[in-house]
Structure 1
Amino acid sequence: MFRQQLTVVRPGTRTDRSGSTVDDWSPAAVTRIPVTRVHVQPNQQTETVGDTRTVVTTGLRVLSAPGTNPDVRAGDRIEFGPSNLLYQVQGEVARWPDPTNSSRVHHVEFTMTRVTG
C-alpha cells in the first residue's frame, strides 16, 4: 500500500529590497527531498466555470507508512505523479504519535492541492 513516492520542493531564502527575508523559489535556490513509502489518494476535486475561465482544483491526501516521519512542512511544494505535477501542501502536516511510545511518530498525514485555470 505504501509504494508511491514524491519529491518535496522546499524554497531557499533571499533578502528583498526592503531587507526582509523571503522565500526564494528559483531553481538554483530550492532543495529537493525525495520521499518514499507513501500512499496518495484522492481528497477533493472541484471545477468552477466562470465567464472567462474554468478553475480546476485537485486535492490529494498523503499518508506515510507506519514508522516513518518524512521531512514535509506546511508551505512546501510537492512534485508527484508520472508528469511530476506541482502541488502545494495545505495547512499543517499532522505527525501522529506511536500508540505504544508517544515520543515517536507513528505516521504522517497531509493534504496537497493543485489549482489550474
Structure 2
Amino acid sequence: MSVLYEQSIVIVRPAISTDRYGNEKADWGEAADRTPVDQVSVQPAGGSQEDNSDKQVVVTGWLLVSAPGTYPDLRATDRVEHEGMTLQATGKIGRWPTPVGVRHIEAQLKEVD
C-alpha cells in the first residue's frame, strides 16, 4: 500500500432526535455513531477564505481520498474527525466504482474555525 493512504479518520453520523415541536434535528453528541476508517488521505485543497462580515472566520478546504479498493460509507450529511479537526462535506461524495469492484471515494470537506 502506498504511504499516501496511511491516515485515519472517524466518520461521525448524527443521531436524529425530535424537539418539543416535532421537528427532527441532528444530534452530534454522545448519541452520534462514530466509525473509524483507515487507509485514507486528507490533504489541504482549495485554499482558505476569510469571512469578516459578522465575525472573523477562516474556512479551509480539504480533500479526502480513500485508498484504491476501499469504499467507506461516507454520506454528505456526515462529519469527519481528523487530527483534532471536525470537517463537513461541501457536496456529494464522489464514488468511483469499477466493473470488477470498488475503486475509491473522494470528498471535498471544509473546516470552519
Q: Quickly name the TM-score band, shorter chain normalised.
A: 0.7 to 0.9
Looking at structure 1, the residues matched to 51 and 18 of structure 2 have their Cα atoms a distance apart, in angstroms, of 39
Looking at structure 2, the residues matched to 51 and 64 of structure 1 have their Cα atoms a distance apart, in angstroms, of 35
Q: Is the 8 A contact 1:47 1:54 kept in 2?
A: no
Q: Is the 8 A contact 1:5 1:36 kept in 2?
A: yes
Please report the TM-score for the alignment, with normalisation by the length of structure 1: 0.83
Q: CA deviation at 1:47?
A: 3.4
Q: What secondary structure does 2:76 align onto? A: coil
Match of 1:17 among 17, 20, 23: 20
Any gaps of 5 or more consecutive residues in structure 1?
none
Looking at structure 2, the residues matched to 74 and 13 of structure 1 have their Cα atoms a distance apart, in angstroms, of 15
Looking at structure 1, the residues matched to 111 and 61 of structure 2 have their Cα atoms a distance apart, in angstroms, of 6
Please report the TM-score for the alignment, with normalisation by the length of structure 2: 0.86
**What does the per-residue CA deviation read over 1:1-32, in whole Å, with 9 as the maximum and x for residues that have no partner?**
11111111110011122223321122x21111
Match of 2:105 in 1: 108
Q: CA 1:107–1:48 in 2, change beyond 3 Å: closer, same or farther?
A: same
Any gaps of 5 or more consecutive residues in structure 2?
none
Match of 1:37 in 2: 39
Higher strand share: 1
Match of 1:71 in 2: 73
Q: Aligned residues: percent identity?
A: 39
Q: CA deviation at 1:109?
A: 0.5
Match of 1:85 in 2: 85
**What does the per-residue CA deviation read over 1:77-116, in whole Å, with 9 as the maximum and x for residues that have no partner?**
11112xx211112211111111x42xx3211110110112
- Residues 1:2 and 2:12 are matched in the alignment: no
**What does the per-residue CA deviation read over 1:29-66, in whole Å, with 9 as the maximum and x for residues that have no partner?**
11111010001111122232637743211111011011
- The alignment covers a number of residue pairs equal to 110
